[in-house]
Amino acid sequence: MKNLILNLFKDEDGQGMVEYGIIIALISVVAIVAVKSIGNKVNTDGYDHASKMMDVIPAKK
């Protein structure tokens, strides 16, 4: 029984996959934050530009 427990602690077969999973999770978080930040800027700039264009166009009567 003692040997079985010691072998479980020495076994490193899944270590690489866990490391890849952590790296993918970190990249995903960075990508989500970047997209949200850029998306808000594009959204705000787009509405500002559209609103200025609407102010230039005369209203029909």
What is the full per-residue pLDDT of the chain (61 aa) written as tens digits? 778 777 767 766 777 788 899 999 999 999 999 888 887 776 677 677 777 777 666 666 6
Read off the pLDDT of residues 26-43 as tens digits, 9 standing for 90 and up.
Answer: 999 999 998 888 877 766
Cα(51)–Cα(4) distance, integer angstroms: 70
Helix or strand (DSSP H, E) at 39:
helix 15-56
Task: Read off the DSSP letter of residue 57.
Answer: S
Cα(54)–Cα(42) distance, integer angstroms: 18
Tokens of 28: 């995903």
